[in-house]
Amino acid sequence: MLNILLLGNKTVGKTSLACRYINEEYSGKCKTTIGVDLFRKDLILNHNLVSVQIWDTSRHDGFKGTGEVFYREAHCCILVFDVTCRKSFESLNFWRNEFFVMANKQNPYEFPVTVVGTKIDLENDRKVSKQEAQDWCKSFSIPYFECSSKDDINVQQVFEAMTAKLVDTYKL
């Protein structure tokens, strides 16, 4: 079982991203996650059955201690921000740092992390350019994807790329 942890500010679209990938649907009426929501999908990669578990997190004061278990058990981390919300982009440093501290990962440049900019269907409301996000990611050698859960743009690619990276990293 490969564990993928989703981190980012609330309302950036973590739950919509997971639901679109797992259930291949978008409701637009996702409730705010309290604690962790778990999603699972089995897929075939390199002629092998691979089970992926996606942990959709929410950081609440009462959840903090429990969250550390999910951070430590994650095989990779997807940092999520909303391209229409500059504050969510500016929080990426916080989420990246918090993950590596709480997960007790020793080599942040070797651990599989990616960044996803969501809500690209709202292009007219964009506050963070693709170039700016790519530049931030490049400074940490992190892959960058942009997607829309609503319009089903690049959602599959995000999870397929991370799963393939994990299969390669963990020699599955």
Tell which residue, 113, 133, 125, 115, has the closest CA to residue 150: 125
pTM metric for this prediction: 0.89
State yes or no: pLDDT of 90 exceeds 80: yes
Query: Considering its fold, how many domains does the chain have in total?
Result: 1
Q: How confident is the model at residue 61 (pLDDT cuts 50, 70, 90)?
A: very low
3-state secondary structure of 24: coil
Which structural domain, as residue segments, surrounds residue 119?
Answer: 2-169
- Looking at the predicted structure, is the pLDDT value of residue 10 above 50? yes
Q: Is 8 in a helix, a strand, or coil?
A: coil
Residue 26, pLDDT > 90, answer no
pLDDT tens for 119-157 read: 999 999 999 999 999 999 999 999 999 999 999 999 999
Q: Quick one: pLDDT at residue 94?
A: 94
Domain of 8: which CATH number?
Answer: 3.40.50.300
What is the pLDDT of the chain when averaged over all its residues?
Answer: 87
pLDDT in tens, 43-58: 887 788 888 999 887 6
**Secondary structure of 16-63 in HEC code, one letter for each residue:** HHHHHHHHCCCCCCCCCCCCEEEEEEEEEECCEEEEEEEEEECCCHHH
